[in-house]
Structure 1
Amino acid sequence: MLTRRQVLKGLAVAGVGSMTFGGYALAEPFRLGITRYTVSPPGWPQDFSLRIAVITDLHICEPWLGLDRLQRIVSRTNVLGADAIFLLGDYVRGGRMALWSRDVKHADWAAVLAGLKAPLGVHAVLGNHDWWEDIEVQRRRAGPIKSKVALEAAGIPVYQNDAVRFEKDGWPFWIAGLGDQWAFWPRRHADEREDSYQGVDDLEATLGKVTDDEPVILMVHEPDIFPKVPSRVALTLAGHTHGGQVRIAGYAPIVPSRYGQRYLYGHIVEDGRNLIVSAGLGCSTLPVRFGAPPEIVVVDVVSGRNVA
């Protein structure tokens, strides 16, 4: 959980970056890069290759990431040759962004995302801001979640502790999606203290739906689950951190993770297990980015024998 001191420190760094570099921190959010990774998980079938495009942390709002820019993101993604497209949550604007922007109707942005096309489909999970935007959801500690309703109405399946089996070129594999780990705000009572976010994630139940030994690709929003992900999972894909959103010389003063810089950004390998954390595309708290430009991520999953 972020402290007031961390937030103030981050705002100070953002302000310095904006003044010192001539407003670059205000311009960087409008960039759109493609970041590519090639990953060779242990035991991945030799003749099987899979390309995944990842879109995350859009925080859709006007004027920072409205429908026109979202359409450009969709068009750019569609020409990347992905077998499947993953949406990793936080579709709506976040937190203090309400001071700097205005909402876009859920049905409108979901209709644009419905234009994403890939042979094996588009697959989604929710992020914390998709849960946080509705005060009634927080009060009753349950959905329905507006983003989930909109995505499913647009024909995009939303995974919450679920797994589905697919095939490509005769090779079977699983796409699994974890429920959000920060779904509910901390809640305190007079007789007990509860000061951490509460999730709807259930990793054991999610992987329990995998009924054979074929490879598993896991979609999550927050990367903090990664220490618990077993080697059974070939690759975990996450967003949430924005790569720090403001990062100077590789260091981010604010990282929304209990692990600090450990899962800030990029391709992380621990005990032979692979995690990729995207910097995402939108902004939260402030409409600035510095040293963490927006990106669509493309991941080619291949056998180690097929890597030159």
Structure 2
Amino acid sequence: MNRRSFIKRSLWSILTVIGAGSGGYYYARNIEPSLLQIKKETIASSKIPSSFDGFKIIQFSDTHIGFHYTIEQLKDLVHQINMQDPDMVVFTGDLIDAPNQYHQYADVHSALLKINANYGKYWIYGNHDHGGYGTEIIKELMQQSQFTLLQNNHAIIEKNVDRIIIAGIDDVILGNPDLNKTLYQTNSDLFTILLAHEPDFAETTRLYPVNIQLSGHSHGGQVRFPFLGHLYTPAYAEKYVQGKYTFDNENEFTLYVNSGIGTTRLPYRFLCNPEFHVYTLKHTV
């Protein structure tokens, strides 16, 4: 642990103790984790084909079902997603907090199956999906829920005569990510979106012909304070924590970091609402 991480963890512990006897604790524990926000972004590029102008992609991430995130909350999330009428839905990892200790898989399947997207539903592994002996459990659950796994591979999305690429890598922490394999035999002229659970993988992605990386994992810090910002984020979410980051390279590479839906380690959110993203593609000349 470096000095900055130690200081932030210490501050988090102190502030948690202070807040335990105040209304702040009640808010962070019982109110904000339920205040779901819908973040809308327009992704504009000359590489986006005209057929995909207005194409809507929804990203949700880090539900951590079972750790203070219930089936009823998941059902409401699915309803909110469907209300946005997405063309495609992507999930960027950490579905269930402890897969080998969870028992309501039928209910999760029933909820996820109801997500509608005419151009497909895609997902990638997060560290919690591989952890807790969850690799095969989550894989089967998502397959039954009609989600397509992107694990060091890609898919071609076709609309009329135009195409874009949706790709995904294995989890950085507990998997075996291989971006060369993921992008093998892809056309670098096609607009390419990469799903990568850990946002700091962008330091590698920026060197490849990828236009957009969608990530989660950080929870946006989960607990944030004015002036201090986030107090702690997990490994591989230390440099890029929340929101949009642009990189100066030939691909006009952009990273979006989703703050996630659920909580982990501690069941609090403070100044860091749960969210899902709605991205609308825009063709530019």
For the aligned pair, the TM-score class normalised by the smaller chain equals: 0.7 to 0.9
Deviates more, 1:105-114 or 1:83-92: 105-114
1:302 Cα deviation (Å)? 1.3
The one of 31, 38, 42 equivalent to 1:38 is 42
Q: Which residue of 2 aligns with 1:163?
A: 154
Q: How does 1:40-79 map to 2 (within 5 A)?
A: 40-41=44-45, 43-46=47-50, 48-49=52-53, 50-61=55-66, 64-79=68-83
Does the 8 A contact of 1:89 with 1:124 survive in 2? yes
1:15 Cα deviation (Å)? 4.2
Q: How does 1:4-153 map to 2 (within 5 A)?
A: 7-17=9-19, 19=22, 21=24, 23-26=26-29, 27-41=31-45, 43-46=47-50, 48-49=52-53, 50-61=55-66, 64-93=68-97, 103-134=102-133, 144-153=135-144
Q: How does 1:173-192 map to 2 (within 5 A)?
A: 173-183=164-174
Q: How does 1:225-244 map to 2 (within 5 A)?
A: 225-229=201-205, 230=207, 232-244=209-221
The one of 184, 200, 212 equivalent to 2:176 is 200
Q: What whole-Å deviation, never above 9, does each CA across 1:36-90 have from its counterpart, x for those lacking one?
A: 111224633356322110110000016x221111011001101102110001110
1:303 Cα deviation (Å)? 2.9
Q: Which amino acid aligns with 2:26?
A: G
Q: Which amino acid aligns with 1:286?
A: L
Q: Secondary structure at the match of 1:267?
A: strand
TM-score by length of 1: 0.81
1:21 Cα deviation (Å)? 2.5
Q: Secondary structure at the match of 1:123?
A: strand
Q: Which amino acid aligns with 1:77?
A: I
Q: Secondary structure at the match of 1:172?
A: strand
1:231 Cα deviation (Å)? 5.5
Q: Secondary structure at the match of 1:54?
A: strand
Instruction: Name the % identity.
Output: 28
Does the 8 A contact of 2:218 with 2:237 survive in 1? no
TM-score by length of 2: 0.87
Q: Which residue of 1 aligns with 2:186?
A: 210
Deviates more, 1:273-282 or 1:43-52: 43-52
Q: Which residue of 2 aligns with 1:224?
A: 200
Please give the alpha-carbon distance, in whole angstroms, between the structure 2 residues aligned to 1:16 and 1:287.
16
Q: What whole-Å deviation, never above 9, does each CA across 1:1-40 have from its counterpart, x for those lacking one?
A: 7977654543333444553625211121111111111122
1:292 Cα deviation (Å)? 0.9
Structure showing the higher strand proportion among its residues? 2
Please give the alpha-carbon distance, in whole angstroms, between the structure 2 residues aligned to 1:4 and 1:30.
29
Aligned length: 275
Q: What whole-Å deviation, never above 9, does each CA across 1:148-201 have from its counterpart, x for those lacking one?
A: 121112322111001011112432111101100011xxxxxxxxxxxxxxx411
- CA 1:224–1:79 in structure 2 vs 1: closer, same or farther (change >3 Å)? same
Q: Does 1:255 align with 2:258?
A: no
Please give the alpha-carbon distance, in whole angstroms, between the structure 2 residues aligned to 1:4 and 1:103.
32
Please give the alpha-carbon distance, in whole angstroms, between the structure 2 residues aligned to 1:22 and 1:6.
18
Extract unaligned runs of 5+ from structure 2: none
1:129 Cα deviation (Å)? 0.6
- CA 1:146–1:284 in structure 2 vs 1: closer, same or farther (change >3 Å)? same
Extract unaligned runs of 5+ from structure 1: 138-143, 184-198
